Structure formats: structure tokens, C-alpha cells
Structure 1
Amino acid sequence: MSRFVPVDRDTAYLLPPSVDEWLPSDHLARFVVDVIEQLDLSELTRQYASRGSAAHHPAVLLGLLIYGYASGVHSSRKIERATYDSVAFRYVAANTHPDHDTLATFQLRFLKEVESLFVQVLVLAREMKLLKLGHIALDGTKIDANASKHRALSWGHAHKIEAQLRQEVQALLALAETSDRAAIPDGMDVPAEIARREDRLSAMALAKAKIEQRAAERHQLEQQEYEAKTAKRKSQRDAGKKPRGKDPEPPEAGPKDGDQVNLTDEQSRIMPVSGGGFEQSYNAQAGVDTETMMVVTRHVSQACNDKREVVPTLEQIAALPAVLGEVHTLITDNGFFSQANVIACREAGVEPLLALKRESHHAPVLERFAPDAPAPQTKDPVVQMAHRLGTQAGRALYSLRKQTVEPVFGIIKRVMGWRQMSMRGLAHAQGEWSLVTMAWNIKRMHVLRTA
């Protein structure tokens, strides 16, 4: 006769159940709680008033958000539901049930404080002997904004719609002035139709003003680049050398027909994505330690390419606590390369290893084992970096890039399931990216500690 484990859902506990007994000792939820208990949350707790009903402790709310992001639950409503359905979330919440509005308000209110907690987690990892800085691999990934690309308005289309709306307003005004009431179609409220179009014209004017502002900012940058290139070519001619290629064309001022603004999240941008096509996105940057795969620097950009992201990363590296160690090398693909970025790395005391071109996936075997070329007798930092990239040690170091930062992006998007911002605006996107990368770091610390 078959034997089964008894199933009894009716007998009461003989002793009160303990939350501490619900999870294995090495569970991620336990580790999240342990890490948060060691963080200094005074910047959060001091902002709570001592009046009104009792509030949920910031440690509980932060723990729920971090464990939620680390385990693929990002919605405040789903986190609230999980405090009833999931043993792990129930443990983090200490058997309480913060509602989704409390969680969402907490996340929005303390995004700035989360950025300082990010550094505290790195310091804690150092104290646990899980992190020591050395080489940083930097890369960016496109994260969908909380806005549709179909809600974007271009400069050229805005002019067409504006002309159409003005014509319709004039036609409606003429219709309203006519004495023949029979000419007005049934159900049409002429004043309401005019007001609706005037509202759209006002919104169109605001959108065009933002496009013009962006165009002016872009022209200023392009003008600076043009003047720098022109000055360089002039110095070459003065030295008796012939500059290569054609002289650069001066940039044109003013908006282009393709310039656009998103009406839902105006600070997001249309960006090309891997696999082809364009999406309304932000450019999320992460500097990852090659030894531990922990994110050390993070920021969000509105730029489609990565050439302007080296300097913000160097500023974050310089601001890191000395106890974390010294960053020796910054490794990037060719999308980050520029002479200015190489010089900026040298001035910051960081050795640049920025690829000059797209590397071949299958280098000839004799080339891979060839002896290093002699060091060039020059002070040009780009030539020196190119030589280092060609050495066996440089190639081995550069190969770490694909093994570190790209898997981090893959795990965040595929395993943790985070591919889209939940809030709008650049500042909120920056705060959420800090929260996501902090959740990744704690998840990674859990793995490193177990190993």
C-alpha cells in the first residue's frame, strides 16, 4: 500500500511560529536584511516626523525594494502582494505588509539617498574582503524609458501639424461667425473645438521651444569640436605638415527636421538599440570591477553614443573612498575612444585601455603568440595606449571586458528582468539605476561570500 506524507492544514501550531525559521540560513533574503542592518540609514530616518500613525521603518521598505529588484519583482503592487504570498518577502518585511503606495512613495522620496547607500555597500563589501579595486571595465546599455517612441514629436512634423491646426481654427472661427446655423454639423460644439486646437497649439509651441533649446546646446558643442579640429589642422600646416582628409564643414545652427521631443518623458531620447531599430531610451552606464563583477560606478546619460561618458566615470572614481583601493586601468570598447578621453584618463591617474577599433573575434594564432613590439619613443598618449593594447598583457587585460560588464548587463536584463525605467525624468532614471545596481551588488556579494 502506498505511503504519503500527511497533509494537514487545520491543526494549529503548538508554539507560535518564528519568522526566522521560514528560510534556509544561506537564503538571499537573509543576506539582504543583514546588509541593510549594517548600513547607516540616519539620512532616511531623520526625515520622518514623530507625529501621526507609526510608519514602516526605512530598513524594511529598502529591503523589500532591493530584494524585489534582485529577484525580478519591480512593481510596488507586486511587492505588496508578495509580502502575503512569498515566504522570502514575508521574512524581509518581518511579517508586515506595507502597501504599494507606501513603497512607491518611499522609492521616489529617497532616490537621492540611495546613491550614497550605493557607496556604503561597496565599503561593506571591502570590509568583508569581497572587493578590492584594480581594473574597471566600462560600458553602456540602452534601457527603455517609461514612454512610447510613438509619443515623440519631430520639428518637421510639428510645423505641419501647427499649420493644419491654424487652418482649422480659422475655418471654425468663420463657421462660428456665419449666421446660417444650418451650416454647422450636428453635435459640433464650435467653441470647444476651437479651444481644443488652441490648447494643442500651446503644447506644440512648448515642444518646439524645447527642441530649439536642445538644438542650441548641440550647436554649441559642435562649434567647439569644429574650432578644435580647425585649430589642430592649422597647427599642422604651420608646422609644415599636410593635414589628412578634407577640412571640416562648419556646423549649421537651428533645429533639423528630425529633431524631436517626447511628450511623455521629454528627458528621454530616441536611441538605436542592438538588433536594429530605435526605442525611447536612456543610456545606462556601469563601471564593473573585473575581479568581482561588482558595479563600482554608475550613471545615466541622454547621449546615444558613449564618447562623453568617460569623464563622468572618472569623476565618480575620484570620489570613491580611499579604503576601496586604487583604480589602475579603465577598459572600454572603441565606442568610448577619443584623444580627449585618453588624456582625461592620464590626468586622473588611471591607465586608459580604450579600444581604437572593433577587434577581430578570431585573430591568427601566430599573431596572438607573437612577441611584443618595442615601446614607441613618443609621449603621445594615444600611441602609447595603442602599443599597450597590442602587447600580450594588454590583450589579456582587454579580454576581461566581455567577461565582466557585458554579463552584468545580461543578468540585470534577463535574470533580474529589469529592462525599463518605472519613473520618468533623468534624475529619477539615475536614482532607479543606482537602486538596480545596488541590488545587483548585494546579490553578487551573496554569491561571492558563499563561494
Structure 2
Amino acid sequence: MPASDQRWKQIDAKLPPDDLARIVRRQVEQLDRSEVDRMYSGRGQEPYDPILLLQMVLYQFLKGRLSPASWEEEAKLNEAMQWLGHGYTPARRTWYDFRDRIGDVIERLHDDVTQRAIEQGHLDPTTVALDGTSIAACASRHRMVNRNTLQRRQELLKELIDGTYCRTDPLPKWVPPTESGRQDLASRIEAAAIVLEQRINENAKKPSDKRKDPDKITVSLTDPIAPLGRDKRKTYRPLYTVQFMVDPVSRLIVSYLCQASATDAGTLAPMIDKTQKLFGGQLKRVLADGGYCSILDLTDARDRNIDLLAPPSASGSAAKRKSRSGEIQIPREEFRFQASLNCYVCPQGHRLAYLWREKKMRMGDRYVYQSTYQCDAKFCEGCPLAERCLSGKGPRRIKRIEGEEMLEAQREKMASESCKTLYRLRGQTVELSFGDAKGNRRVDRFHGRGIKRARCETGLLVLAQNLLRLDKLQQRAISLGKQTA
């Protein structure tokens, strides 16, 4: 259905100037299409125009329809989709193939949009706001298995595939009926066994009081690599974590990251490096929440000459403990650290001497050193504050992580009025991006299995949101230009 077709003209006459379909087409036409065209070069018969397919997919993302199965139906029934695709009605398999292919170039398309926004003066590359959120993986939260169950299923599948299964019992319902299905499940179980073994080994390295029973450590067979954690609704399930770097003024998402992790820990440095590469080293300041303000995060920001505005979390957990009297224990903040003597001094003036130092592992095989300090028992037992200070039978102990003075300096910096004023921009920007994604685009669960497809869906979401936002910025600039002319 070319633009000269009567049906296309009828739909074109119906669409209002600010329709999402027109915005998508207007913005996609400004993209460098060479990377998209290269996806299909030298691949057999004449393909569908990938740019038209991309327009249709981005329109569907803005409408909150993220599954290729729904794209097939919409292409047949939705007039705006027919207008964007010039009558294309691809089969479902074509949509799934396109989604997998576009994932290879989606980041370059995003970079193209970001560079265009900088050149047009819509984006300030010096300051960004950072935050993350969890999104459910394309995997059932009810069908996770432990090591014993995994081994039994692996053995049964092996017998079926090898032809050595001769039991008269009916096959379990989880066994696929076809040979290809069983081969696919066997490969996923093999991958799941590797992931599960890694989780069991990591669990064995934890302190005994934080170690789980190995039989209770599980893995998903539908998406083995997806880590298990609690989403925003506190539901325990396989999920991925998505990070956004957002420009506080334009609210454009300047960079993003989708990773196989259940937390935001350890993502500050990769996000800074990715954004700096895109900005040519112009990034100077990052606004983030307390989840990005550990000692390692502050070190990473300092090493990269980045001014990190983020509130440090409370030191230790002493503020939440109860003392012998049942009152809240005197917090460690009331104990003064004397670096020259390497000791703490309690509110009564008694020293807590250095005992030992130990290594504490963090995300990504990184670690910090933690020192333990303890008061002399004779001072603690005779102290008038003992009932409020001590929580157990022994004298008071305090643990200090090497480099904690950086957290103390950060706490003082964040208390200044200038930092408070600037930091308010964070909640007004990055939270809006996630709110738009989950509220308006219905992004609460990925529709493709595996980290590669999850990253592709994240990239398509970011590209769709950015094109919509950039179009508004461009139209506003045109309007202001007409008013001042």
C-alpha cells in the first residue's frame, strides 16, 4: 500500500497532527537507517522494509503492547499500524525474528537520537539523574527447581532422548511431547545446572548466619540466567534490573542498562563509563539515591572525576538494635573515631580498641576491609549507660569499613543547601521515566526469554520514550522560534 494508494490516503486524512503514529514516523525518518538496513543485507528474498517494521514496533511500545503476538493482530486491525507499515501484515514469526534482529542495533539507534538531542541543544551532557528498577523476567515464579529436582529431570530427559527409557509409568506433565521440545528443555536444564551450581557455591562463601540451606536454592528452567529476587510488589520471582540515566532538564534517557541482577549494587561505575563514552567525557555530575552511595561507589565516582550527589545510608544497623533495657541502642554515630589512635571513643570517654580486620566481599568480586573495635569489659559493665548501650552479654563493639570517612564527608556535603536544591531534580526526572514505562507503557514483565531479549525490549522502550520526548522538545523549539520571529 504505497502513499499514492487510496486506502493509505483515507487513513492519512483521519490521523490528527499530534497522533502517536505521526510522531513516530516523523522521528524515525530522522534516524540513520544504514544500521537497520544492514540487518537484512544479503539474506535471501526481498524482505519487509525494516524501517517500516521499526515504526510499527515503536508505535506499539508507546501504546503499551510489547508482545510480538499482539503486533501481528494490530497490523491487521489497527489503521494507524496500516498507515505506518503501508499495509504490511507480517506473520507472527516475522515479528519475533525482527525483535531478535533489531536488538543488535538498538543501542546505536539510541546513541543517534542522543547525539541529535545534544546537537540541537535539548540536552545538557554535564548532569544526569540515575536510578534503577526491577522488571519481571519472562519466567514463571511458580516453577523454580532445586538441585535434586533438576538432577532427576536431567536424568529422565537423557533416558528419553537416548531411547533407554523403558518405565511403564506415565510421563510427567513437564516432559515436552516432541523430540525437538525435549532437546530444547535438555539444553535449558544444562544451562540451569551451571547457574544453580554457581549460586550454591556463592552461598557457601557467605558467613554461616547468612547462608541458606543448599536444598532451598532454586533456579528457573524457563529463564535460568534471571536472578531471583523481590520485585517492587515484594513478590519473589525471576527478574532483571534496569538502570536509567536521565537528563534532569529535557527528561531524555541518555543511557540505560539491563542486567542479570536483583539489586542496583555495582552499577554506578558501568553507567558512568557508558554515559561518558556517549558524551565524550563531558559528564560532571550524577544525582542518585542511597543505593548508589557505598564506599566503593564514592571511590568509583572520585576516580572518574564525577561529583556524586547521593545520600549515604545510615552507618551499620546499630540504630535499629535494642539494648538490654529494651530501648533503642545508643547509635554508633555518638561514638567518635580517632584516626591517629585507630580507636573509637564512647560517650563516656572510654576507648574501643582495635581488634582485627577482615575482608568483606561485594558485588562483582570486589571487596572492602572491615575493622572491629571493642571496649574493655570492665568499663562497659560499670558504665551508667550500659543498659542503653549494650545489647548482649559482652562489651560494646563497633565495626568500621575502611574508607568510611568518605561517607562522613558525603553526609556533610549532602546537608548543604546548594546540594539539597540540586538534588531535588532527581525525583522529578528519573522517577517520571519509570512511572511512564510502568504506568503508560505497561512494562511490568518482559516478553522474551533471556538477557539478550530483555535488553532488546529495554532498548525499544527507551527509544520509543525518547522519540516521543524529543519530538515535544523540537515542536516547542519551533513554536518559540515563531513567537520570537
* TM-score where L is the length of structure 2: 0.67
* SS of equivalent to 2:98: helix
- Report the Cα distance in structure 1 between the residues aligned to 2:274 and 2:43, rounded to whole angstroms: 38
- Report the Cα distance in structure 2 between the residues aligned to 1:345 and 1:89, rounded to whole angstroms: 45
Moved more, 250-259 or 77-86: 250-259
Q: What's the RMSD between the two structures over aligned residues?
A: 3.7
CA contact (8 A) 2:106 2:459 kept: yes
Alignment match, 2:437: 412
Q: Are 2:135 and 1:143 equivalent residues in the alignment? A: yes
CA contact (8 A) 1:270 1:280 kept: yes
- Report the Cα distance in structure 2 between the residues aligned to 1:14 and 1:214, rounded to whole angstroms: 60
- Report the Cα distance in structure 1 between the residues aligned to 2:308 and 2:58, rounded to whole angstroms: 33
CA contact (8 A) 2:136 2:237 kept: yes
CA contact (8 A) 1:80 1:100 kept: yes
Measured against aligned partners, the alpha-carbon deviations of 1:198-236 in whole angstroms (never above 9, x if no partner) come to x9999978744432223435667x6xxxxxxxxxxxxxx
* SS of equivalent to 1:399: helix
CA contact (8 A) 1:23 1:87 kept: no
How many residues align? The count is: 367
Alignment match, 1:443: 468
**Percentage of pairs with the same residue:** 26
Higher fraction of strand: 2
- Report the Cα distance in structure 2 between the residues aligned to 1:302 and 1:145, rounded to whole angstroms: 10
CA contact (8 A) 2:188 2:221 kept: no
Amino acid aligned to 1:68: Q
- Report the Cα distance in structure 2 between the residues aligned to 1:190 and 1:356, rounded to whole angstroms: 59
| Alignment gaps of 5+ in structure 2 | 157-163, 176-182, 315-402, 477-485
Q: How does 1:245-324 map to 2 (within 5 A)?
A: 256-322=214-280
CA contact (8 A) 1:137 1:332 kept: yes
* SS of equivalent to 2:465: helix
Q: Are 2:211 and 1:211 equivalent residues in the alignment? A: no
- Report the Cα distance in structure 2 between the residues aligned to 1:202 and 1:284, rounded to whole angstroms: 27
Alignment match, 1:189: 168
- Report the Cα distance in structure 1 between the residues aligned to 2:8 and 2:266, rounded to whole angstroms: 58
| Alignment gaps of 5+ in structure 1 | 1-12, 166-172, 177-187, 223-248, 359-377
1:74 to 66, 69, 82: 66
Measured against aligned partners, the alpha-carbon deviations of 1:318-366 in whole angstroms (never above 9, x if no partner) come to 21143xx8222112111222111111112112111122138xxxxxxxx
How far apart are residue 148 of structure 1 and its match? 0.7
Alignment match, 2:319: none
Amino acid aligned to 1:269: P
Amino acid aligned to 1:339: I
Alignment match, 2:349: none
Amino acid aligned to 1:299: L
* SS of equivalent to 1:143: strand
CA contact (8 A) 1:28 1:446 kept: no
Alignment match, 1:337: 293
How far apart are residue 97 of structure 1 and its match? 2.5
- Report the Cα distance in structure 2 between the residues aligned to 1:67 and 1:268, rounded to whole angstroms: 28
Alignment match, 2:459: 434
Q: Are 2:13 and 1:55 equivalent residues in the alignment? A: no
Alignment CA distance shift 1:255-1:115 (3 Å): farther
- Report the Cα distance in structure 1 between the residues aligned to 2:108 and 2:129, rounded to whole angstroms: 22
Q: Are 2:446 and 1:421 equivalent residues in the alignment? A: yes
The higher relative CO (CA closer than 8 Å, separation ≥ 6) is in: 1
Moved more, 299-308 or 141-150: 299-308
Alignment match, 2:303: 347
Higher fraction of helix: 1
Alignment match, 2:29: 37
Q: Are 2:80 and 1:124 equivalent residues in the alignment? A: no
